[in-house]
Structure 1
Amino acid sequence: MTVNELTAYEVLEHRRIDDLGTDSYILRHKKTGARVVLLPNEDENKVFYIGFRTPPTDSTGVAHIIEHTVLCGSKDFPVKDPFIELAKGSLNTFLNAMTYPDKTVYPVASCNDADFQNLMHVYLDAVFYPNIYNTDNIFKQEGWHYEMESADDDLKINGVVYNEMKGAYSSPDDILDKGIMNSLYPDNTYNIESGGDPDFIPDLTYEQYLDFHRRYYHPSNSYIYLYGNMDMAEKLTYIDEHYLSNFDYLEIDSSIKLQDPFKTQSVVHKDYSILKTDDLKDNTYLTMNWSVGTSLDRKLYVAFDVLDYCLVSAPGAVVKKALIDKGIGKDVYSEYENGVLQPFFSVIAKNANADQADLFKQTIMECLEKTVKEGLDKKALEAAINVDEFKYREADFGRFPKGLLYGLQVLDSWLYDDMKPFIHIEAGDTYKELREEVKGRYFEDLIQKYLIDNTHSSMFIMDPVKGLNEEKEAAKAAELQKYKESLSKDEIDEIVRKTIELKEYQEAPDSEEDLKKIPMLTRKDLRRSVEPYIYEEKKVGDNVLLFHDIFTNGIDYLNFVFRMEDVPYDLFIYSGILKSVLGLVNTKNYSYGDLYNEINMKTGGITASVGTYSDRRNLDNFATTFEITAKVLPSNIDNAFDLVSEIIRTSKIDDYKRMKEILDEKKSHMEVDLQTAGHRAAALRATSGFSKAGCVSENLSGISGYRLVQKYADNYDQAAHKELVEKLSELMKVLFRKENFLLSFTTDKNNYGEIEEKMASFAENLYTEECQKGHLEFAPVKKKEAFMTPGQVQYTALAGNFRKNGLEYTGALRVLQVMMGYDFLWNNIRVKGGAYGVMGGASPNGDSYFVTYRDPHLKRSLDVFHEVSDFVRNYEADERTLTGFVIGAIGELDTPKTPSAKGTYGLTAYMCHANLEKMQLHRDQMLDITVEDIRKLADYVDAFEADDSVCVVGTGEKIEQHKDLFDKIEEL
């Protein structure tokens, strides 16, 4: 049967989308009105989602809490956490759920047909028949609850979403994003915090929460999407017969109301927290924001992305340069949000001052008016369109299935017009139109209409307040104490009883009968053989060309690799700064702005990074590399070589003003990373206490790397400038030399062409000057450290190395990693502890760690880490449970790779001296693991935990409370 023959659905549109090489369907379920979009094609990475339009009316986070809780058991799958059972026992390539300002989406993806059907079944059952009506413990666990284990305890609030959003509200940049949207749309749903404001989450009652589900989680309010190589008619028949047909049509008003335009610009202030020792100076956020049409205007949707590039995002862009030149903010950037009905464009100056607000606005408006009068740089417009279209054509979303990204983009229009799901993913004609518009004044007219003349705008200003979060935490504790004092003994006993009841619910095992209802593959369904790497080692003169013959959809991927063995430590630590400088300063033939445009006109992007590769032959050794990657159409490959050569040979790093701007911006970006990804900083820092390889990463992108950037950015005078220029110049001379060079080239063999001649010519143009070579050596020092932030949550890491006890890496450790993340640590850190997440890892070189994410606790989490080995040593599980963890581990390994990722996989294998037989052994150890094998891993946990290398990034109050755990405490 074909889709057109289905009687339960009405086909509203069926046509070909040549841009994506796929047919497309728009359907309507006749009985319920459920909306359906299909994109059938040859992609084996199949995607399904069901979404709902969910506009909240308050900031209690009800939509977000529903998203978490419907995945905690359902009619067909009554276990407490089917999501986790799937995650650890599925070959999924994507499994998650997301809450947006006006919608909630439940997507899954898999290349395995049976697995895909299982995932679809569990998600459909979860949204339509969740267990949330059977017990309020699910709401308490994931949302919020009062907590006291005894009448003598302090009264506290706990819950996964509550702590997740405390983490989000600890990040000034997250607060900023929310505040900007609120300032533009005070009267519709975009004024509401759909994720939940921690101050209001405890106002949500269980009944209000259930009412929200009853109102919006109905087929008549649903959006169903299927993509990939499958029998679409079969899937739609299943969805109808098992779910949709069980419901009648329901009139649901979930429409998003438009905000009436402002008559005059609004000005909104909001406070945010900094440390008590931080300076109020240079810590204000200034923003100018404009509402820009609707997301149903397909041309405007892309055009403002182009303007974003030309006005602010590109280095040297006119508005950005004008603000930086006047000293307004140390980091100037823009944001264009087009995933809502009323998109908006923002110009942001970070690390500015409140008394600059008028000058900030004046400078922007004068710059815009001058730009309209004199016209935009045509090359900048062409570059912006080219880089956007390159990404669109390449459709490389890294580890995310492209069908998923298409599906989410579909909602940018489909959510607001049932017949316009494809206007943004079918963008070939849009780019063609915009290229024509470059010749005229279309873009200048947009600036005039939507920025200069548009009164629907706001100035949103975030003012720093010292110790604000500490004050709020103290006030909340006092409020809870006062509330406790107002309670009767019976009421206190009731909270204690419910706390114990919740813990009993969390600790109660699911029945074997219920667990078996979760569909699961078997070990026989898993591919036995390891994925081969693809590379051919060729000699070009004295250098190695690593060629990866892979079909790339007509794109060449180049990776210019420079080994760093001869770089002395005192120069190596500047590599992180160097990779942020290259491509962003003037060169011999280009200003930095023109260079950026040239890169984006001639290539799909050029980026620098530092890589670390453990030697699989001798795990005590590792190689560190500086890499410059470029992606390009074959017709432009000469331009890629020329531009990379121009950058590494003629970059003018002696421009004092430009270097200061780059350092200020890099410092700002690193601060955001430390605030939003504190778990990564903590794990890197803890690992660097004993691992040379860990020291490399920590010195570049961890706290040490941040301290180096901070040192220069905060005290950049002529002496500092001279020192930095000398260090970077010497580093480039030592690094970019022929003897260090290797080229990794990924493309179809038909595009191999004259790559060897181009490579040889490039190599001859590298540095040959005398330089002071050395040897890259690190001396790790074990430490127990804590870094205080103005946030409200902790990121706690414990790290060590198991190889020092003579233990050899085994593939079983990958299974243990999944087991920890979805069983013991998940249950104790997230489910019972209320942290948003917990993770761990074990590398072949022995480096291992556990780390928490947005965690309300500190010592409790460390205590849980130290209980792992006992759990592992006494581990008991049936074959089904263990197989689930095996499937989860193999699934992580077997995620489909994009063409560029396949090239990177080959390069990694070459640099690590990977051995297919050894890799096969590790895979076999995973596939054949037994309970006894798991128990043996307790020795590995004991061995790495014995190093006891600890790092915590968190609140001053918690760190001070447990200061005896640390050798060193400092403010981050």
Structure 2
Amino acid sequence: MRIEDLDAYEIVEKRRIEDLNSESYLLSHKKTKARIALLSNDEENKVFSIGFRTPPKDSTGVAHIIEHTVLCGSREFPIKDPFVELVKGSLNTFLNAMTYPDKTVYPIASCNDADFQNLMHVYLDAVFYPNIYKTDKIFKQEGWHYEMEDESSDLTINGVVYNEMKGAFSSADDVLSREIQNSLYPDTTYGFESGGDPDHIYELTYEDYLDFHRKYYHPSNSYIYLYGNMDMAEKLDYIDKNYLSKFDYLEVDSEIATQEGFTSPKEVRKPYSILESDSELKNTYLSYNCSIGSTLDRKTYIAFDILDYALCSAPGAPIKKALIDKGIGQDVYSEYDNGIKQPVFSIIAKNADSFQKDEFVKTIVEVLEKQVKEGIDKKALMAGLSYDEFKYREADFGRFPKGLLYGLQIYDSWLYDDKLPWIHVEANNTFAELKKEVDGDYFEKLIVKYLLDNTHKTVLLLEPEKGLTEKKDAELADKLAVYKASLSKDEIKKIVRETKELKEYQETPDDPEDLKKIPLLKLSDLKKEAEQFKFEEREMDGVKILFHDIFTNGIDYLTFVFDLKNIDAEDLPYAAVLKKVLGMMDTKHYTYGDLYNEINIRTGGISGSISTYTDSSDVKKFETAFEISVKVLHDNLLYAFELVKEILTCTKFDDTKRLKEIFGEQYARLSSDLSSAGHQTAALRAMSYVSPAAFVSDQVSGIGYFRTLEELSKKVETDEGAKEISEHLYRLCRLIFRPENLLVDITGTEKEYENVPNESVKFAKALFTDECQKGNLEITTTKKNEAFVTAGQVQYVCRAGNYADKGLKYNGALRVLKVMMGYDYLWRNIRVLGGAYGCMSSYAKNGDSAFVTYRDPNLQNSIDVFEKASDYLRNFEADDRVILQYIIGAISDLDTPKTPSGKGTYGLTAYMCHAKMENIQKNREELLGTTKETIRSLAAYVDAFMEDNCVCVIGTADKIEESRSLFNVVEQLVKA
């Protein structure tokens, strides 16, 4: 069967897209006018998605709540959570759903044909025939509901989306992005919060929620996308016969309105919450925001990303430098959002003061006018252009299938013009055009048109307000108390009854026959053999080289690995500082701005990291390495060696002014990152109490590093302190970047390897060889059990420990346990019953283990759930089908396809960990052989790590105080 033979569809366009090595089709479903875009190619990792235009008319989060709830049971799959059942038992390489300001998208991906078909089936049934019309309990669980345990209880509000968005609104950076969009487009869908504002979510009625689904979740308002190596005609025929043909055409008014341009710029002020003990000084966000035409302008779509780099994002860029020099903000950056109908370009000064607003605007305008008059630095434009083009050609999105990212990007045009899905993913010609424009005044004209003469812009101040969270919580509590007082006894009894009924609904097991309706692969469908790692250890003149012979399409992936065994434990945070400043300061031959441009013109990026590698034969041993990674087109490989050599051996650390700038920027960013990713922060900190490897990671990237950064930010203010810091960095370079510490890791083909040995030897000879006093990386851990208070509205709760210290050895079945706990015991008790947005567990090969919650309204309740986990496992009951689900889910996580760079990293990790293929295969067989009895035996592992009783929480003052006895230390995450 050919696509051309399908009577149900009209082919709007068919052509080859060489940029993507794909045959493209644009179709329309004749009966419903559903839009279909196809990219047929030889990619094994297949992608399907269905999306809908879903413009909200308020901030109740209706679109977001529907995204959650349609995945909670459907006509053919009537169980309470088909999404979870799929995650448990699918070989998916991606499975999720996303709510955007103007659309909702349901994408899936899998390399397995049968699995792909199953996922597509469940998702299509979910969006078109959800169970949300059968019971309001789905809406209450995922959206919001009033909650009262008994008639004397306080009236409260709970719900997964409600708590998720309380977490989102706890991040000032997230609030800023939201308010910028709202300020520029107040009369459109972008003037509302599609995810839901916690202050308004509880205004959404069940009836309005259902009406939203009826209106927008119709084939006539749908966008269907298929990518990869599959029988496209067969898939289209299936979609038509089973779903699209069952509907008639419906006129759906979902067009995204265009905001009329402002006649003059506007100023907007909004508050965000800080703790009572926080300072209001240097805590304001200043932003200069401009509307940038239409996302359908394919040239401007990319051009402004290049301007973003050249004007502000790059170190030393003119706007960033001018504002920092004037002391306006610790962290100055720009953002370009081209994923909406009218893109936004913003210049942001973080940790500034409100009174600096006028000077902020004046400085930006002066710099822009100067750029127009004197011309933008051509090298900066070429660097930004080269970087974007490299990323586009490489198409390496890590664990995310590239077909998925293409599918999401096409909405940037397709959503606003049915005939233009490909203009941004087919970009080679656009890059070629822009290269020609660098020598002219095209980019300068963009500045004049959109950043200077444009009246459609705002200046937004996000200002700190002490105790705003507590104030809002108190107002809501008062409002709920007044509401409860207004209720009759019968109405109160009704809420109590409905609270109990909801919990009974949540706790009632699904009908086993309904569970079997979720399609499931067989054990025989799973690969029995573990993926082979690939490396060959070579050497030339004493320099060790690790070679991964892998086809990379002309891109070399080069990593310089330096053993950190000769530094002291106290040096770890300084090593992390070193990682941050390298490439960001002047060197012998470059200013830091020129260096950054040179890097992006010559390479696809140079990045640093500090990694720990556990010895597979003795998990008490581990190595710590300082790594510099480069990706580069093969023709520029020699430049990569030269640039890294320049950075490691010629950096000038005695530029006090520049050190202050970097510390200020890092402090501002990390203070936000630690709280917004509180689950990772808490888990790393909790494990650092007993695990030397986790202690290292915390000292170089977690709270341990942040505390050192706080100290250094003060120390660098004095001449003596600045001198001490720079001398420490010079000393570390001489300790770390030495030939005897070096391993050169290269991923590419044998042909591309040809020049690597000689260049590696030359590189090693340029490293430090002078005598120096070496340290000894010995780690001592201490259990602290800390709580870190933030101005947020939710908790991140972790209980951690180590099972290997109790004599237990890693078992491949622990991967099954991770899936099972994350989507059964923890999911049911933490998310479904507790209302937290997320929950997870981890069990590393070195024994480090943790239970963690994410955006959690509770604290003590979650700790109690953790405590009962091993009892649950000891009494675990499940049939073979359920066990198979967990096995498939674990294999899916293990077998995610790797990019060429990912394969190289897999080989490097195996080498550094002294891994043996027979042990990896043994662990896989343990995973595949997991039984009910195996799961029960793993209760011992949970008991073992829980015995350490390591607790770390990031959360609100009131919840932490309620459980004060858990903690030895309580302090603010970000100290005043």
Bucket of the pairwise TM-score, normalised by the shorter protein:
over 0.9
The aligned counterpart of 1:458 is: 458
The aligned counterpart of 1:690 is: 690
> Equivalent residues in 2 for 1:305-454 (5 A)?
305-454=305-454
CA distance in 1, matches of 2:570, 2:469: 38
Amino acid at match of 2:419: M
CA distance in 2, matches of 1:805, 1:368: 63
Give how far 1:671 is off.
1.0
2:159 aligned with 1:159, yes or no?
Answer: yes
1:134-170 CA-to-partner distances (Å, cap 9, x unmatched) read 0000000000000111112111100000000000000
Give how far 1:784 is off.
1.5
Q: Which segment is superposed worse, 465-474 or 332-341?
A: 465-474
CA distance in 2, matches of 1:921, 1:961: 46
CA distance in 2, matches of 1:377, 1:785: 49
The aligned counterpart of 2:61 is: 61
The aligned counterpart of 1:554 is: 554
The aligned counterpart of 2:941 is: 940
- TM-score of the superposition, structure 2-length normalised? 0.99
> Equivalent residues in 2 for 1:29-48 (5 A)?
29-48=29-48
CA distance in 2, matches of 1:797, 1:458: 41
Give how far 1:719 is off.
2.3
CA distance in 2, matches of 1:722, 1:591: 20
The aligned counterpart of 1:902 is: 903
> Equivalent residues in 2 for 1:9-28 (5 A)?
9-28=9-28
Q: Any idea what SS the aligned residue of 1:573 has? A: helix
CA distance in 1, matches of 2:764, 2:751: 24
1:658-683 CA-to-partner distances (Å, cap 9, x unmatched) read 00000000111111111210011100
1:76-135 CA-to-partner distances (Å, cap 9, x unmatched) read 000100000000100000000000000000000000000000000000000000000000
CA distance in 1, matches of 2:601, 2:792: 42
2:868 aligned with 1:876, yes or no?
Answer: no
Q: Which segment is superposed worse, 207-216 or 704-713?
A: 704-713
Q: Any idea what SS the aligned residue of 2:76 has? A: coil
> Equivalent residues in 2 for 1:128-527 (5 A)?
128-527=128-527
Preserved CA contact (<8 Å) 2:283 2:352: yes
> Equivalent residues in 2 for 1:804-823 (5 A)?
804-823=805-824
Number of matched pairs? 972
Q: Any idea what SS the aligned residue of 1:636 has? A: helix
Amino acid at match of 1:447: I
CA distance in 1, matches of 2:949, 2:971: 19
> Equivalent residues in 2 for 1:781-792 (5 A)?
781-792=782-793
Q: Any idea what SS the aligned residue of 1:296 has? A: coil
Amino acid at match of 2:825: F
The aligned counterpart of 2:533 is: 533
CA distance in 1, matches of 2:920, 2:933: 22
The aligned counterpart of 2:768 is: 767
Amino acid at match of 1:804: D
The aligned counterpart of 1:921 is: 922
Q: Any idea what SS the aligned residue of 2:947 has? A: helix
1:695-749 CA-to-partner distances (Å, cap 9, x unmatched) read 0011111111111111122453222211211211111110000000001100022
Preserved CA contact (<8 Å) 1:149 1:499: yes
Give how far 1:572 is off.
2.4
The aligned counterpart of 2:104 is: 104
Q: Which segment is superposed worse, 708-717 or 106-115?
A: 708-717
1:725-778 CA-to-partner distances (Å, cap 9, x unmatched) read 121111111000000000110002221211100000000000012211011111
CA distance in 2, matches of 1:928, 1:533: 22
Amino acid at match of 2:347: V
Preserved CA contact (<8 Å) 1:572 1:731: no
> Equivalent residues in 2 for 1:586-597 (5 A)?
586-597=586-597
Preserved CA contact (<8 Å) 1:571 1:728: no
CA distance in 2, matches of 1:478, 1:727: 55
1:599-649 CA-to-partner distances (Å, cap 9, x unmatched) read 000001000000110000111000000000001111101100000000000
Which aligned runs of 4 or more in structure 1 are off by greater than 6 angstroms?
none
Q: Any idea what SS the aligned residue of 1:820 has? A: helix
The aligned counterpart of 1:951 is: 952
Preserved CA contact (<8 Å) 1:571 1:730: no
CA distance in 1, matches of 2:42, 2:842: 35
Give how far 1:564 is off.
0.6
Q: Which segment is superposed worse, 472-481 or 592-601?
A: 472-481
Q: Any idea what SS the aligned residue of 2:19 has? A: coil
Preserved CA contact (<8 Å) 1:886 1:927: yes
Structure 2 gaps, min length 5: none
Q: Which segment is superposed worse, 776-785 or 852-861?
A: 776-785
The aligned counterpart of 2:84 is: 84
Preserved CA contact (<8 Å) 1:47 1:404: yes
Amino acid at match of 2:86: L
CA distance in 2, matches of 1:669, 1:886: 39
Q: Any idea what SS the aligned residue of 1:154 has? A: coil
1:358-378 CA-to-partner distances (Å, cap 9, x unmatched) read 000000001000100000011
The aligned counterpart of 2:581 is: 581
CA distance in 1, matches of 2:487, 2:541: 83
Q: Which segment is superposed worse, 893-902 or 713-722?
A: 713-722
Amino acid at match of 1:776: L
The aligned counterpart of 2:751 is: 750
CA distance in 2, matches of 1:472, 1:665: 30
The aligned counterpart of 2:893 is: 892
Give how far 1:487 is off.
1.4
1:284-318 CA-to-partner distances (Å, cap 9, x unmatched) read 10000000000000000000000000000000001
CA distance in 1, matches of 2:841, 2:436: 51
Give how far 1:923 is off.
0.4
Preserved CA contact (<8 Å) 1:797 1:951: yes
2:736 aligned with 1:735, yes or no?
Answer: yes
The aligned counterpart of 1:699 is: 699
Amino acid at match of 2:219: P
Q: Any idea what SS the aligned residue of 2:667 has? A: helix
Structure 1 gaps, min length 5: none
Give how far 1:808 is off.
1.1
Preserved CA contact (<8 Å) 1:686 1:798: yes
Preserved CA contact (<8 Å) 2:825 2:869: yes
CA distance in 2, matches of 1:482, 1:131: 34
Preserved CA contact (<8 Å) 2:735 2:774: yes
Preserved CA contact (<8 Å) 2:675 2:681: no
CA distance in 1, matches of 2:935, 2:966: 30
Give how far 1:783 is off.
2.0
Give how far 1:522 is off.
1.3
CA distance in 2, matches of 1:417, 1:36: 13
Amino acid at match of 1:347: I
Q: Which segment is superposed worse, 487-496 or 42-51?
A: 487-496
> Equivalent residues in 2 for 1:808-847 (5 A)?
808-847=809-848
CA distance in 2, matches of 1:202, 1:220: 30
Amino acid at match of 1:732: C
CA distance in 1, matches of 2:74, 2:223: 20
CA distance in 1, matches of 2:478, 2:343: 41
Give how far 1:401 is off.
0.1
Preserved CA contact (<8 Å) 2:573 2:704: no
Give how far 1:570 is off.
2.2
Amino acid at match of 1:622: F
Q: Any idea what SS the aligned residue of 1:477 has? A: helix
Give how far 1:804 is off.
2.1
Amino acid at match of 1:854: R
